[in-house]
Amino acid sequence: MRRVRTIIITALLILLCFVLQCTVFRMFLFGGIGPNLMIGLTVSMSLMFGDRKGLAIGFCCGLLCDIFFLPALGFYALIYAFIGYLAGKFERLIYPDDMKLPSLTILGGDFIYGCLCFFFQFMIYGKLYFRYFLVHFVLPEMLYTLLVSLLLYPFVLFLYQHFMREVRESERNYANRDMPISGKAEKKS
């Protein structure tokens, strides 16, 4: 039951972020730059679920972007899947109350996204304006994505902790005060 609920919530979050990115945040562009909610969502969920599920979530986010923005499928799907997989490697290092690692990971994910897009969409065609692209597009988008993701990450974390997280056996036993943490009954002498 929890797995089905997790899939439904994840699909709804992906659709919600995509719709918000394509509609609402288009009204709040700064210099033609808007936040990349799909990167923020991919990294946030990858930090919670791990590398394999992060790869799948990133692939779904990227595929949705491919369907609506590119004539060929797969470009964004591969980039987002790569970012989701890398961010998922930090799963065991995050603490729910600490925003430093998620913030740095979101910045890193958006930087990788910007660099890969520059390389595959511009540099291959001989347009070597990386410094200009970095200063005028990548860095402002990174900061804007980070600001919006500071609101998105706690919301996703709340959903994860209350509706999607699988409770481990040790946590279940810890909640039951009669049983020790190891799950084995103690012998009374």
Burial class (CB in 10 A: 0-12, 13-18, 19+), 112: middle
Residue 81 lies in a domain: yes
- As given in the structure block, the two tokens for residue 5 are 């609920």
How large is the angle between the packed helices 139-159 and 2-22, nearest 10 degrees? 150
Higher pLDDT, 112 or 28: 112
For CA atoms 142, 152, 154, 78, give the dihedral sign.
negative
The mean pLDDT value of the chain amounts to 86
Residue 56 lies in a domain: yes
Residue 98 lies in a domain: yes
Residue 117 lies in a domain: yes
CATH number at residue 95: 1.10.1760
Residue 134 lies in a domain: yes
Residue 181 lies in a domain: no
- As given in the structure block, the two tokens for residue 148 are 């919006």
Phi, psi (degrees; rounded to nearest 5) at 158? -60, -45
Residue 179: the pLDDT is 44
Confidence of residue 152 (pLDDT cuts 50, 70, 90): very high
Q: Does residue 184 carry a pLDDT above 70?
A: no
Residue 52 lies in a domain: yes
> Angle 183-170-41 (CA atoms, 0-180°, nearest 5)?
170
- The per-residue pLDDT for range 9-67, each reduced to its tens digit, is 999 999 999 999 999 999 988 888 999 999 999 999 999 999 999 999 999 999 999 99
Count of structural domains within the chain:
1
Q: Does residue 164 carry a pLDDT above 90?
A: no
DSSP 52-88: HHHHHHHHHHHHHHHHHH-SSSSHHHHHHHHHHHHHH
Confidence of residue 102 (pLDDT cuts 50, 70, 90): very high
3-state secondary structure of 33: strand
Phi, psi (degrees; rounded to nearest 5) at 33? -110, 135
Higher pLDDT, 28 or 146: 146
User: Rounded CA gap, 21 and 16, in Å?
Assistant: 8
State the residue range of the domain holding 152: 2-166
Residue 166: the pLDDT is 74
Residue 173 lies in a domain: no
For the stretch 114-141, what's the b/e string if a residue is b when 16 or more beta carbons lie within 10 angstroms of its beta carbon? bbbbbeeeeeeeeeeeeeebeeebbbbb
For the stretch 5-23, what's the b/e string if a residue is b when 16 or more beta carbons lie within 10 angstroms of its beta carbon? ebeebbeebbeebbebbee
